Structure formats: C-alpha cells, structure tokens
Amino acid sequence: MPDNSFDVVSQIEMPEVSNAIDQARKEIITRYDLKNSKSTIELNEKDKKLVLQSADEFKLNAVIEILNQKLVKRNVPIRNLTYGTITPAAGSTVKQEITLISGLTTEKAKEIVKAIKDSKLKVQASINGDLVRVAGKDRDTLQQAIALMRGSDFEIDLQFINFRTN
C-alpha cells in the first residue's frame, strides 16, 4: 500500500493577480507613452477573465507587457494566461480578453497521468477533480515523478503540494 503522496495542481492566486493589476494600473497612469491612451485593465474574478483596453494595438501590447511584468513579480504563472483576439471597441479603441486558467482540465490531468504511467515509475496517479494525486511507496520515486513532470511541457504551470509521508 502506498504510504507517500503529493498532489499536482495548477493554481492562480487571485489576490496576487488583483495586486499585480493594481500595480500595473499605477504604472500605466505614470507612463509617458501611455498618457491619454484610455488604457484600462478590468478583472472579473468570478469568470477568471481580464479585459484590457487601449487606444491602439501598439499601446495594448505595452499594457500587456506591463501586466506580465507585474504578474511575474508576484509569482503568478503567466503560462496560465490564454489570450483572446484583439477586437475593436467603443471610441476607436481596441480590447483583448485574457482568461486565467486555474485548475487542471480533464484533458491535462489525463495527459499528466499518461506521462507518469508511460515513465514506468512505481507510482499510482489518480485524477481527483482538478488535481492529480500521485502516490508511491518511497520518497525517491515521488521525487523522480516530480522531476519527470518538471522536465515535460504540459503548456501550463504545475505546482506540487500536500507532500505527505507516513
């Protein structure tokens, strides 16, 4: 019976996102190249979406760059951002929607479980909602599983939490 386990998750801390947005807004106000550009960043926490708006595509890209810098400083994984298309908005401005991916989708979870099974490590991986629990007899094997997942590209940021040993 496996004694040791850990969970594989992909989480975004919403308070950190909120703080990063506040910092980005302050910088946008003070940046000379963005003066009078009607640049805004709005957060919809319930839907986990950001809406960025600016005068033109060039300025919108500058706003995205500022936001990404602030997110990275606050340890928010920018790999978990999905960028929508840039669309025209009211008042001759452009906007872009960014979706925050928090939690593993069923497809990603299956992909992680398959990678673990294909590695022939002596661990069991099971999907529990939006996380993958990995259990094994010894710590070294679990460490190898973590190293395997860090070395693989699942196109999202993974965190390893709840490391339990008995």
What are the residue ranges spanned by the domains of the chain?
A: 4-10+104-164, 14-100
Q: Is the pLDDT assigned to residue 1 strictly greater than 70?
A: no
Helix (H, G, I), strand (E, B) or coil at 137: coil
pLDDT at 96: 92
Percent helix, percent strand, percent coil in the chain, to nearest 5: 40, 30, 30
Q: Is the pLDDT assigned to residue 19 strictly greater than 90?
A: yes
Higher pLDDT: 133 or 38? It is 133
Query: Comparing 16-20, 43-47, 88-92, 97-101, which segment has the lowest mean pLDDT?
Result: 88-92
**Measuring CA to CA, which residue among 115, 118, 51, 110 is closest to residue 86?**
51
Q: Is the pLDDT assigned to residue 39 strictly greater than 90?
A: no
Q: Is the pLDDT assigned to residue 89 strictly greater than 90?
A: no
pLDDT tier at 2, thresholds 50, 70, 90: low
Asked if domains 4-10+104-164 and 14-100 share a fold, the reply is yes
The rounded distance, in Å, linking the Cα atoms of 64 and 96 is 9
pLDDT at 49: 93
pLDDT at 121: 87
Q: What value does the mean pLDDT take over residues 94-121?
A: 89
- Assign a CATH topology to domain 4-10+104-164: Alpha-Beta Plaits (3.30.70)
pLDDT at 104: 87
**Measuring CA to CA, which residue among 45, 64, 44 is closest to residue 53?**
64
pLDDT at 134: 92
Q: Is the pLDDT assigned to residue 63 strictly greater than 60?
A: yes
Best CATH choice for the domain 14-100 from the list 1.10.645.10, 1.10.1060.10, 3.40.50.720, 3.30.70.990: 3.30.70.990
